[in-house]
Amino acid sequence: MNLFDLTGRVAVITGGNGGIGLGIAQALAGQGCNVSIWGRNADKNEAAAASMAGLSGKVDSRVCDVTDPASVNAAMKATLDTFGRVDGCFANAGIGGGGRRSFIERTEEEWRTMFATNLDGVFHAFQAAARHMTERANAGDPFGRLVATSSLASIFGTARNEHYAATKAAINALVRALGVELARHGVTANAILPGWIKSDMTAGIMANEKFVANVMPRIPQRRFGEASDFGGIAVYLMSKASSYHTADTFVIDGGYTAF
């Protein structure tokens, strides 16, 4: 089998109905991978799945709140009932900085909401996927891929979005720990860190005159990355070629230079 032929593989993508997640879903389905998109918005989920109807992999969607373990477990069961297995889990759901107030001005509710959406979502999705993958490994079928979409803020910090950077740093730490724990089951864990990515969620940035004047000149080649860049990494990470890459961080487009 070609290393990048994912025919018969099955991947779950949380937050896969837009932006980076949609790019990952399209790339995987284009290589024959069956994909289940999990997200809170049923209409967006269904629209994303419908947009990939002509690709070689089958794509469906589940309404799922990744902060709720019961919802995640139900989505996992439904996906397994449909596809019979899950080979990869791409945890992409989360929220951004959420304002420009300083650390000492933050409320406890803001802190907890950020952690629940960014960190708990990865925890619940990864745990459900890892349980299935290790059970399958114990039955003689060792293969599993856990991939978190993190942030360059987890390495370089960020002004006035420090609680966001903290959640993303925690995700990176979880990935490193899982890389050690799950290796014996044939399961890898990795993180992808975006730079500035073109998507529906970043379209409004270019309308900000201060951003264009102060930040864009520091981005290499004045360029936004493409969601498809992440798709290429996702295809690689789901392939046999990535078997020895675990707890690695893949940085796309050198976006840290924008800080």
pLDDT beyond 80 at 27: yes
Given pLDDT bands bounded at 50, 70 and 90, which one contains residue 95? Answer: confident
Mean pLDDT of 21-49: 95
pLDDT digit string, tens, across residues 139-181: 999 999 999 999 888 887 777 788 888 999 999 999 999 999 9
258 belongs to a structural domain: no
Specify the number of domains making up the chain.
Answer: 1
Share the mean pLDDT of the chain: 88
pLDDT of residue 213: 84
- Give 1's contacts (C-beta < 8 A, 6+ positions apart): 7, 240
Active-site pick, 164, 236, 244, 256: 164
pTM of the model: 0.90
Write out the residue range of the structural domain in which residue 47 sits.
10-199+227-252
pLDDT digit string, tens, across residues 200-243: 666 777 778 887 788 777 766 666 677 778 888 999 999 999 98
pLDDT of residue 68: 95
pLDDT of residue 6: 95
pLDDT beyond 60 at 100: yes
94 belongs to a structural domain: yes
pLDDT digit string, tens, across residues 118-141: 999 999 999 999 999 999 999 999
Q: Is 236 a catalytic residue?
A: no
Mean pLDDT of 19-27: 91
52 belongs to a structural domain: yes
206 belongs to a structural domain: no
Mean pLDDT of 180-196: 92
2 belongs to a structural domain: no
pLDDT of residue 99: 64
257 belongs to a structural domain: no
pLDDT of residue 1: 45
168 belongs to a structural domain: yes
207 belongs to a structural domain: no
CATH number of the domain bearing residue 175 = 3.40.50.720
